Amino acid sequence: MFSLDDRSKLYPHAIIQRVSAGENILYAGVGPLVVIVLWALIFRQGFHKSHVTILGLFISLLLTSLLTDIVKNAVGRPRPDLIARCKPAPGTPGHELVTIDVCTETDHHTLHDGWRSFPSGHSSFAFSGLGYLALLIAGQFQIFRPGKDLTRTLIFFAPLIGAALIAMSRLADYRHDVYDVTAGSILGMSIAYFSYRRYYRRLRHPKCYEPYPSPSDVGSRRNDEEHRAVRVEDFELDDLDEDDEGIPLRSHT
């Protein structure tokens, strides 16, 4: 429910957005993917490293989108431009709580999307993609290891600044308030970090630029170690006390 004299819901409805949904996908989804693919090809990162890095990006984007839509549909919140979307019927009481029944907007998406303000989908998606790219850059450049130069640090910050600009554009378009944008940004960055750490070590680790080994490599290494252990166990010291014919050998003093 809402009232027509609620000033926080009286902002204009921006038909042309500063960053549309398609542009957000291009900036925060396609952009990081292209950068990762070029990085993998140019520097020949190998199949396993390229595979887990791209897979982590997709998991970050898809999981963030899923959780954002779940919260939007379950909780929502009226957008700052709700009343402009609603187009209340003439004679609607201005100081009483009313419902969607007073709205005259005929476009279903425009009207019902007015109650899906929390959290900001643009913000969560931007930080899930560009935030993931920033974490990858931090790991490859070892930003959080001592003695790193400023240039690499600025490269690390570039995707985060881009994500922040996308998030702030939602405030300028009056699609969200600061709480929606903040919650969306935290959600997207948290999922990006979760997805990144599933495959890479912590950013202060000496080998943070390398992903965890693949399960097949771990299995083959374990088999080799078990094989060596069996060979050591088969080689007993008692065998040195006899020759091939079972005759005891002279002990050395």
Q: Point out the residues that are catalytic.
A: 122, 176
Measured CA distances, 84 to 92, 95, 175 (Å): 14, 17, 11
Smallest CA-to-CA distance from 3 within 79, 110, 92 is with 92
Q: Phi-psi region for residue 3, left (φ > 0), alpha (ψ -120 to 50) or beta?
A: beta
- Residue 246 has phi, psi (to 5 degrees) of 85, 5
Q: In the chain, how many H helices and how many E strands?
A: 9, 0
Check: CB of residue 87 under 8 Å from CB of residue 103. yes
Q: b or e along 207-236 (b: 16 or more beta carbons within 10 Å of the residue's beta carbon)?
A: ebbebeeeeeeeeeeeeeeeeeeeeeeeee
Peptide bond preceding 146 in cis form (omega within 30 of 0): no
